[in-house]
Structure 1
Amino acid sequence: MNHILIVDDEAEIRQSLEEILKEEGYIVTTAATATEARTLLHDAAYDVMLLDIWLPDGDGLDVLANAQTLGTDSRPEVIVISGHANIATAVKATKLGAFDFLEKPLLLERTLIVVKNAMEAKRLQSDNLEFRRQLALEQHVSGESVAAKALRQQIALMAPTNGRVLIYGESGAGKEVIARAIHAGSLRRERVFVELNCAAIPEDFIEAELFGYRNAAVAGGPNEKRGTFERASGGTLFLDEVGDMSLKTQAKVLRVLDEQSFVPIGATQPLQVDVRVIAATNKNLEDEIAKGNFREDLFYRLNVIPFFVPPLRDRREDIPVLVSEFLLGFGREYGRTHVEISRDAVDALMQYHWPGNVRELRNMVERVLILNPQVRRIEKKHLPVLAQRTAHKQEDFQSLQHAREAYERDYILRKIEECKGNISRAAEVLGLERSHLYRKMKTLGIGVRE
């Protein structure tokens, strides 16, 4: 880690800085214009950039702002230099994310100290990112079940390749966690990871999100927008819920995958990109193909390396490990680092069928901590909702009435949980008056937290 980019329109300054910094053991690249600097920043990663404010084809602060849009891995520490320094410029540069500000003529000793400090800051940032990547790979793909071990092995084997990945799994099962772990273990881990939830973007806007636009081609938006394919170039693009993408958009994505280029909306020239695509879906895409909802050719482009994330109910033995990790994480966040959970409480958690999978378990742990701020040990009594929601066997019911009540109890409790305990919202979702829901809860023996 010692790559420096020098951006200055004065050849003598570029040459002088390059010679001095090379003598100090740094790898140095130079640029004379803002355009050249942007191209270099897009094509390679630099640890530190020495950036002049006044450039022949633009403002150096615009280059600084552009550098801040890069992924954390690719973003250099920027040292702004200027012969026309003033307080306002220095303040603006700092607000835009500059590491430091140097006035011309540059003092050798001062320059070397600032560069060294910037390089150290970048190293610490990279160490922190690497720690987080390892955390994603080792802790979040958690558990000792056969399925969890198989996923870790598959990630270790497939992540270093450049093959496209299609992740299957129910909502909340951890598809995004798998995608991030694959990126963290890949050769692109120093570059950006960009995520797009295809189900969350309205059809009228998804093409702009994917491909971007130029010359204010989208009404009401900024003059230009970099799409996710452009922003992810050199790194990884995660297309979540790809099964919800329209056929029209699927055709355009297919072309990008084949040609590794596309034309932004409103532009005339194609952009070349280098993107590894990881897609995820909670649908059976082969069924969607049979229904005419998904392109078969796109399916085969995406399904090079399939990953299957099992639902939490099929790997219940992982629940104790996940609960311990969530308690540790939320404990740090809320300043409660010594909260434990009893065996009875864990058993109750393991009996529940978890329709919302790992996401639901995570939300439950957070909610229990929030609602019990003084508790140092979580007992089964702190999980009243879960204690009443364990799966029922048919032979447990004495009559049809008992079976109906058990189903109603489970369904109402699940909706209350989804609404984070908001009874008014749950009543609305259930199509009941709030007072009616309270009476129903009392009849079914569901405790009400006032």
Structure 2
Amino acid sequence: MPKILVVDDEVGIRELLSEILSDEGYDIVLAENATTARAARLSAKPDLVLLDIWMPDVDGVTLLKEWAANDLLSVPVVMMSGHGTIDTAVEAVKLGAMDFLEKPIALQKLLAAVRRGLQRQPSIRPRNSVSLASFPRSAPLKDLRRRLEQIADKARSLTLRTGAGTIAELCARTLQRPGSPWLDIASLSQPIDLPALESARGGILYIEDLTQLTRAQQKNLAFALDRLDKYDLKIVCGSSRSQEELLADAWEAPVVKRLFEITLAPPSLADLKDDVPEMATQLLVYLIEGGEVPPRRLSTAALNALRTKPWPGGFGELRAAVRSLALGTLEDEIGLDDVNRQLGRANAAAAQALPLDMPLREARESFERMYFEYHLQLESGNITRLADKTGLERTHLYRKLKQLGIPLGRRGDS
């Protein structure tokens, strides 16, 4: 029996559509807003979605954009609106909706649209990775996406000035064309050649951190830099060190100069704490849709816990944590206890790890940052208790946190 998800904030319309479609032999799932629609899209796995445009929390077009960004439009979506315009209909179809119905919806038009949708063969498209487009509700990430796209429109090489908590991969994935190749230069152990570049044509060459490259991999990078135009390639790399530091480490001056012609300093996960819950939610959606983890949902308490945790490993660490939680939880909902049980020990170990492979000043700052992040998390952001625990006067503590780049956000202080 085909399953149809009806998303509309008006209870009368939901009930009417449910009654009509149930009489036609369809299995109906109802959602009153975007939040419940997201959950129903994952748990019910409908064969078709009827989606209202005008809703109080998130409108239907925004939700459609979100689903498109996360490759969730293999299911036909029919938009509905009592205030429909030609522009809105055209935008919805461009985003991937298969039809548009104006309210009040004529019975025959409704049934015809449903039949067409259910008869449509699902499109087989290359599965995109999570990118900044997956987070349309985050103002900082929307702004970053615009900056990246503006740069990429005029340049083939971009270096991201990064540090702990990097989102370099998320930035690079944003510039990857759907279905195009992705080549991580740091993963290559053999010299790169022309056939390898040909196989990567039109794609992204990526390096999470330039300092990770061996001498041989630096030569691969130099080889590729000279052939970007020929093979329609873009290079996106992160660097935790400055241009001068790389030169002091015996990097070739022409390569460094080329790489640092255009740079950008994206925010870290420490700067984006309020966006971490949305990132975790979308990562879970991506993993579920890809069959990598069983259907799960994150509780509000679990999301808040993820928001307050330090993520020195950046986006990659957050992705691994979400995957571990989904695989290690037996219930449908991932709760606070799951987060504390599975991630608490790892964070405690990270907080006690001493950075030994860097200059003394940087090592001291790195340790202090981990130390304060760890205790700030334990005290739920309470500055008074943190000051008592660390033995620092509050004014000095605030100055130290600012110096280390640790944002306080809207943490409690009572």
TM-score (norm 2): 0.47
Larger Rg: 1
TM-score (norm 1): 0.44
